Amino acid sequence: MHQKLVIGTRGSPLALTQTKLFQARIQSLLPDWQIDLKIIKTTGDAWALQSQKELPAGKGIFTKELEEALLQGEIDLAVHSLKDLPVEDPHGLTIAIIPERESPWDLLITKENASLDTLPLNSILATGSPRRITQISLLRPDLQIVDIRGNIDTRLRKLRENKEWSGIILAEAGLNRLRPDVQNLFLTPLKASQMLPSPGQGALGIQMRQNDPQIPLLLPLECPRTRGHVTAERAFLLALGGGCAQPIAALSSTDENLLHLEGFWSDGKNKQHREKQSSSSDNPSALGQQLAQKILAKINT
């Protein structure tokens, strides 16, 4: 009898696509195993088309039901977009595997060939992210920002249909994985100086039960470099007490034996701080905490 693993996932097109990509990697690693998918509807899916103000509080709205299914033994692992996972693991669960990261960057998607700098005065951009709104407003306070909800295809359709909108902003990783139709649209990656990403953006977190005997079998799918980067970013987020509704951004990189971290915090109004910190790569959590403390010292002065 074949060994079996059941992977839990949300049912959105992007969630299914990235889960199937990881399912294929497991199947290649364990060719004699039966690897099944189970779609689980989360609170976040039920509220996905609501405005930001109406979303339930907390960052776990896209993960809670998957975590409950794990704890109850209905599934063996859950594939999450790491930026959706709360920074503290629920009791009994762990992020067992972090595969190699896709692009962490955000993309400006426009109907005309224009960068963030060259968009006409008072252009309208659509995004539902407080992090993106805050950083855009610092660079181009003239731009008008409107809210947008829905999956990637829905947002691209809304951009094409709305004659007043100049563009939208989406995570590049999602487009790289899903490969939607972007014909006749212009895609411009936003630089770190323009838009720091959400902590963990572009990475997947494979959540499993602690001490699950299957974890060692999946360790070849782990990317140590990616884990170091996202660990620093998420430690920064945790130290600032952040969630998805707060304008907090971070991005880590490696240079030889040094780990670099750049972070951004804003109160969503008039205060914002952006700092950098570097250290040896052997303690990424400490680096995230140090950078957060540097920003907290400025917030409290």
pLDDT in tens, 53-98: 444 444 566 788 999 999 999 999 999 999 989 898 889 999 999 9
Given the residues 32, 84, 142, 267, the one annotated as active site: 84
Query: What percent of the chain is predicted at pLDDT more than 70?
Result: 91
- Asked about 255 being catalytic, the answer comes back as no
What digits encode the pLDDT tens for the residues 131-153?
A: 999 999 999 999 999 999 889 99
pLDDT of residue 268: 82
Whether 75 contacts 69, CB under 8 Å: yes
Q: Cα–Cα distance between 121 and 126 in angstroms, integer?
A: 15
**Per-residue pLDDT band at 269 (split at 50, 70, 90):** confident
The pair of structure tokens assigned to 156 is 């691209």
The sign one gets for the Cα dihedral 161, 187, 120, 196 is positive
Pairing status of strand 4-9 against strand 77-81: parallel
* Mean pLDDT of the region 266-290: 92
What digits encode the pLDDT tens for the residues 195-224?
A: 999 999 999 999 999 999 999 999 999 999
What digits encode the pLDDT tens for the residues 150-185?
A: 899 999 999 999 999 999 999 999 999 999 999 999
Q: Is 296 exposed, middle or buried (0-12, 13-18, 19+ CB in 10 A)?
A: middle
In a 3-state reduction of DSSP, which class is residue 171?
strand
Task: Give me the residue label for tokens 């323009």.
Answer: 194
The pair of structure tokens assigned to 38 is 């189970």
Q: How far is CA 72 from the centre of its chain?
A: 26
Query: HSE (CB half, 13 Å, CA atoms) of 117?
Result: 5
Neighbours of 182 (CB within 10 A): 15
pTM of the model: 0.90
Pairing status of strand 93-97 against strand 204-209: antiparallel
**Residues pairing with 263 in the sheet:** 250, 275
- Spatial CB neighbours of 21, under 8 Å, sequence gap ≥ 6: 177
Amino acid at 42: T
Whether 84 contacts 62, CB under 8 Å: yes
For each of the domains in the chain, give its residue range(s) and CATH number, in order of start: 1-100+203-222 (3.40.190.10), 106-189 (3.40.190.10), 223-301 (3.30.160.40)
Tell how many helices (H) and how many strands (E) occur in the chain. 9, 13
Q: Cα–Cα distance between 119 and 111 in angstroms, integer?
A: 11
